[in-house]
């Protein structure tokens, strides 16, 4: 219940004011009493015991700053003057005489770093110490106790890279390790470290392989990456091998016909193998002509289509075995000439 305005005498207002150190606090917590004292002209008298904030000027801030040897001391002793100077842009000028002390010495950075398990945690919780350590190249030393999610580049010495290389049978397998391979590559150690590895394919080396079905169908392939190609034949729905497996439900026999060879030799050999298996009576599942590098298609001319059509008894057999030649013949109207007795 609020008291009558006549209740607040000068003595009672004074008794209430004694509970506060500043006018601001008095006004905030006992506004009714404060307003009464203000309106009746008692405020200055009853607030004599309170701290009065002096009006700060640049000269007064300079006076305070001159009594301090560091900015830290200035901010602790004269916080209001320090932040007032900072707000008005005088702080560097009035503190120019002070000693510039860097708290983050190598010892202090090391002590701070010892609190954390990872560099990420160190950076997030004490960015200033981390930044100074990084700038002065102390990080490797003061963070040596920390755990690594991924080992840094400098970790991979010649010996450690070689140790990883010895676990691998191919360069591709070594490359999958990432950083040790990259370091070996950049330092030109690869040839030395990979001399024990199995020769692999690349843009200039290819190998020939075969998928043979028990009903006489065969696929002969040329590749620079056998692992990838074999996986494609098993999973890719557009693969000739996959399609015929789904259709026939027969499991093909896989065989490597050559090692990795020079690209020109391998290209010629693939054609020879296709011809050889055709002569043996096998049905070739290849969609494109043998010897192609990257899936180059046969350019089916009238002459090549006619020669190809003569190998088959009817249109159906021609279409199933050499679909592209059949489609070209049909498009150009040659198919009627090649099979005049067919519908």
pLDDT of residue 198: 64
Whether 62 and 30 share a structural domain: no
Whether 282 and 219 share a structural domain: yes
Query: Is residue 274, in this structure, part of any structural domain at all?
Result: yes
Q: How confident is the model at residue 212 (pLDDT cuts 50, 70, 90)?
A: very high
Asked if residue 329 lies in contact with residue 309, where contact means CB atoms within 8 angstroms, the answer is: yes
Does the pLDDT at position 281 exceed 70?
A: yes
**How many residues in total does the chain contain?**
343
Report the range of poorest mean pLDDT among 76-85, 248-257, 273-282.
76-85
Query: Is residue 99, in this structure, part of any structural domain at all?
Result: no
Compute the average pLDDT of residues 214-239.
83
pLDDT of residue 140: 82
CA pseudo-torsion sign 276, 280, 282, 283: positive
User: Tens of pLDDT along 27-54?
Assistant: 888 888 888 888 888 887 888 777 666 6
Domain that holds residue 339: 298-343
Give pTM, 2 decimals. 0.34
Whether 302 and 292 share a structural domain: no
pLDDT of residue 335: 85
Whether 216 and 247 share a structural domain: yes
Q: How confident is the model at residue 176 (pLDDT cuts 50, 70, 90)?
A: confident
Asked if residue 136 lies in contact with residue 106, where contact means CB atoms within 8 angstroms, the answer is: yes
Query: Is residue 110, in this structure, part of any structural domain at all?
Result: yes
Whether 137 and 204 share a structural domain: no
Whether 290 and 303 share a structural domain: no
Whether 319 and 289 share a structural domain: no
End-to-end CA distance of the chain: 111
Query: Is residue 80, in this structure, part of any structural domain at all?
Result: yes
Whether 260 and 330 share a structural domain: no
Which one is predicted more confidently, 169 or 9?
9
Query: Is residue 130, in this structure, part of any structural domain at all?
Result: yes
Q: How confident is the model at residue 220 (pLDDT cuts 50, 70, 90)?
A: very high
Residue 284 exposed, middle or buried by CB count within 10 Å (0-12, 13-18, 19+): middle
% pLDDT > 70, the chain: 88
Does the pLDDT at position 310 exceed 70?
A: yes
Whether 277 and 307 share a structural domain: no
CA pseudo-torsion sign 91, 94, 98, 100: positive
Residue 207 exposed, middle or buried by CB count within 10 Å (0-12, 13-18, 19+): buried
Whether 302 and 288 share a structural domain: no
Task: Please tell me the total count of domains within the chain.
Answer: 6
CATH at 227 = 3.40.1440.10
Whether 214 and 291 share a structural domain: yes
Query: Is residue 220, in this structure, part of any structural domain at all?
Result: yes
Give the highest mean pLDDT range of 96-105, 152-161, 210-219.
210-219
Q: How confident is the model at residue 1 (pLDDT cuts 50, 70, 90)?
A: very low
pLDDT of residue 102: 66
pLDDT of residue 296: 41
User: Tens of pLDDT along 15-26?
Assistant: 998 898 887 788
pLDDT of residue 299: 64
% pLDDT > 90, the chain: 4
Whether 9 and 23 share a structural domain: yes
Query: Is residue 51, in this structure, part of any structural domain at all?
Result: no
Query: Is residue 340, in this structure, part of any structural domain at all?
Result: yes
Mean residue pLDDT across the chain: 82
Does the pLDDT at position 326 exceed 80?
A: yes
Asked if residue 288 lies in contact with residue 322, where contact means CB atoms within 8 angstroms, the answer is: no
Does the pLDDT at position 297 exceed 50?
A: no
């Amino acid at each position: 219940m609020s008291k009558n305005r006549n209740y607040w005498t000068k003595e009672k207002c004074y008794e209430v004011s004694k509970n506060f150190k500043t006018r601001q606090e008095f006004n905030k917590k006992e506004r009714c009493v404060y307003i009464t004292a203000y309106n009746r002209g008692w405020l200055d008298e009853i607030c004599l015991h309170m701290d009065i904030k002096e009006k700060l000027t640049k000269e007064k801030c300079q006076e305070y700053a001159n009594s301090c040897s560091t900015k830290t001391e200035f901010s602790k002793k004269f916080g209001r003057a320090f932040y007032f100077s900072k707000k008005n842009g005088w702080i560097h000028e009035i503190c120019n005489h002070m000693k510039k002390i860097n708290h983050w010495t190598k010892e202090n950075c090391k002590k701070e770093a010892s609190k954390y398990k990872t560099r990420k945690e160190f950076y997030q919780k004490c960015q200033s110490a981390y930044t100074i350590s990084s700038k002065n190249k102390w990080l490797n030393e003061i963070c040596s106790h920390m755990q690594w999610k991924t080992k840094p580049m400098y970790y991979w010495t010649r010996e450690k890279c070689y140790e990883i290389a010895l676990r691998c049978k191919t360069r591709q397998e070594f490359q999958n390790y990432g950083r040790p391979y990259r370091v070996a590559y950049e330092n030109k150690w690869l040839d030395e470290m990979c001399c024990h590895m199995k020769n692999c394919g690349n843009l200039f080396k290819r190998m020939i392989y075969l998928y043979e079905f028990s009903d006489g169908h065969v696929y002969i392939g040329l590749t620079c990456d056998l692992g990838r190609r074999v996986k494609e034949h098993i999973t890719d729905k557009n693969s000739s091998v996959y399609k015929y497996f789904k259709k026939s439900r027969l499991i093909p026999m896989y065989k490597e016909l050559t090692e990795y060879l020079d690209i020109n030799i391998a290209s010629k050999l693939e054609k020879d193998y296709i011809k050889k298996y055709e002569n043996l009576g096998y049905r070739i599942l290849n969609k494109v002509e043998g010897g192609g590098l990257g899936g180059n298609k046969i350019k089916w001319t009238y002459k090549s289509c006619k020669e190809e059509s003569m190998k088959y008894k009817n249109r159906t057999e021609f279409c199933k075995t050499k679909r592209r030649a059949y489609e070209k013949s049909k498009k150009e109207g040659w198919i009627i000439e090649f099979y005049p007795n067919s519908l």
